[in-house]
Structure 1
Amino acid sequence: MKKWIYRSLIELTNHQFLSNLIKNFTQSKISKPFIKSYAKLYQLNQDEMMDELHTYSSLHDLFTRKLKLHAREIIKDTNAVTSPVDGVIEDFGAITANKEMIVKGKPYSIQEMIGEHTNIDKYIDGIFIILYLSPKHYHRIHSPVTGELIKQYALGTKSYPVNRLGLKYGRSPLAKNYRVVSEVEHNKGTVLVVKVGAMFINSVECTALSNTWVKGEEIAYFSFGSTVVLLFEKNTFSLNNEIQTPKDVKMGELLGYLTDK
């Protein structure tokens, strides 16, 4: 019964009334009795949590938990690009001349995903990586590179599921859902960090205190499981050849290296 409830929380819903109902429940103290069973069901690693399980006052507090200092190691190499999240690499590949990326055999318009605010041309023939966060994952997002935030804006109003089935059969959730697009200029070029919400109309909270992003520092968090899409400018990124799909990664682990154009 509990498993059905939790799956319903994750896989529901694009209906605003139900989304708001679930949001209010997870953020209220009424949800606290579910914390222990949620942690058990999803086998959360309590040893790495900053706080003891019993101190969280709601499911939302648990979803957005912080980790102990040094729970994740960040690769120091200046040109190393690290995973911004704990999650699963669901897909990667080249951005096509048609301004698309092929995800689970399905084309997604990059232009539709990032909107008209950003010049897409320099990203054609660049690399994309899609990282999915499930309910069990740590939900805070960290910068994959050191650089300067030059642009950030929000798009979309939907909240379709972004899990594997959602990507394959859904209504283009990466291009329809509420999302925050951040463009960062690093020492080799630019990268787009697209944070795609999955539950609630606004499930992405930006926390960066400066426009200067340092690799490994927190920049945002998700209120529920969701997805981060990284888009690298052409000829500025070389993918780690150990990357495959699906592949579990931790925040701070190597995705690849920045390269000269």
Structure 2
Amino acid sequence: MQEAQRQNFKDYKSLNDFFTRQLSPLARPIEDSIITSPADGRVLYLGPVPNGRVEAVKGISYSIERFLGEVPIPREGYSLQQITIYLSPSDCHRFHSPTNWNIRKRVHFPGDLLSVAPPLTHVIEGLFNYNERVALSGTWINGFFSFIAIGAFNVGSICFYFDSELSTNCKKDSKLRERKFKHFSDPLLVPKGEEIGLFKFGSCIVLIFEMPQSFKFLVAPGDKVRIGQSLVK
């Protein structure tokens, strides 16, 4: 509560209002790195995206086309990389832009609301493919960049402040499972560190991005990360 903008419990109208509480502007300084953590949470997996397969945790993978809705092809000398961050119920439920980038497309995948707690990702292969999720994709200084917000148990509501047309957690849509595409005629310029949305409880965020092969991650699986913390160098 000491990090929250509203530090008095009486200022919150409901339990959900408390879970989605906003942090104080000074609580999470944005570090000087081209990619910073979009959320508070724990790193589940990081590394390359080989042969069109995205990993949830070590050894559990799924098709990037089914998960993201497209298959980005990296340029020569570059590779596709990913990092998966799990938000527990105790973490801040708001998320921020991890870099300076242009958002060109949004794909909404209606689906289930299975728990994404790390133990379950070992049990249900391709779990992230079944869950409701919203994938943003576009470009940044190194080419392709995407931000995927994944719903979880009791977390169908995913909100992006710049997209009033997005409506998640709809039972009818979940049964039909039809992808919903939105192309932004004018790409949205999103600066690093800007708050861009929230979950209504805990969940996962996956970043998939094109990167020169000489880069290095500054974190490892199992590490706790905070909004604005440097992830690569």
Q: TM-score range by the shorter chain?
A: 0.7 to 0.9
Structure 2 residue aligned with 1:62: 18
Structure 2 residue aligned with 1:230: 207
The Cα of 1:122 is off from its aligned counterpart by 3.0
What is the 5 A alignment of 1:188-227? 188-200=142-154, 202-208=156-162, 211-227=188-204
Gap regions ≥5 residues in structure 2: 164-186
The yes-or-no answer on 1:121 pairing with 2:69 is no
- 1:211-240 Cα distance to aligned partner (Å, 9 max, x none): 210100011100111000010125378233
Q: Do 1:147 and 1:186's aligned partners in 2 also have CA atoms closer than 8 Å?
A: yes
Gap regions ≥5 residues in structure 1: 1-45
The Cα of 1:59 is off from its aligned counterpart by 1.2
What is the 5 A alignment of 1:20-39? none
- State percent identity of aligned pairs: 29
The Cα of 1:158 is off from its aligned counterpart by 0.7
The yes-or-no answer on 1:100 pairing with 2:53 is yes
| Distance (Å, rounded) in 1 between the aligned partners of 2:37 and 2:98 | 6
**Which of 161, 164, 170 is equivalent to 2:118?**
164
Q: Do 1:159 and 1:177's aligned partners in 2 also have CA atoms closer than 8 Å?
A: yes
The Cα of 1:173 is off from its aligned counterpart by 2.4
| Distance (Å, rounded) in 2 between the aligned partners of 1:152 and 1:49 | 30
Give the TM-score normalised by the residue count of structure 1. 0.73
| Distance (Å, rounded) in 1 between the aligned partners of 2:135 and 2:88 | 21
Structure 1 residue aligned with 2:173: none
Whichever of the two has the greater Rg, that structure is 1
| Distance (Å, rounded) in 2 between the aligned partners of 1:195 and 1:219 | 11
Q: Which has the higher contact order (CA 8 A, sep 6+)?
A: 2
Q: Do 2:38 and 2:227's aligned partners in 1 also have CA atoms closer than 8 Å?
A: yes
The structure in which a higher percent of residues are strand is: 2
What is the 5 A alignment of 1:41-190? 46-51=1-6, 52-77=8-33, 80-97=34-51, 99-102=52-55, 103-115=57-69, 118-122=70-74, 125-190=79-144
**Which of 206, 228, 233 is equivalent to 1:252?**
228
Relative to 1, partners in 2 of residues 1:182 and 1:227: Cα closer, same or farther, differing over 3 Å? same
Give the TM-score normalised by the residue count of structure 2. 0.81
The Cα of 1:176 is off from its aligned counterpart by 1.3
SS at match of 1:215: coil
| Distance (Å, rounded) in 1 between the aligned partners of 2:23 and 2:39 | 12
The structure in which a higher percent of residues are helix is: 1
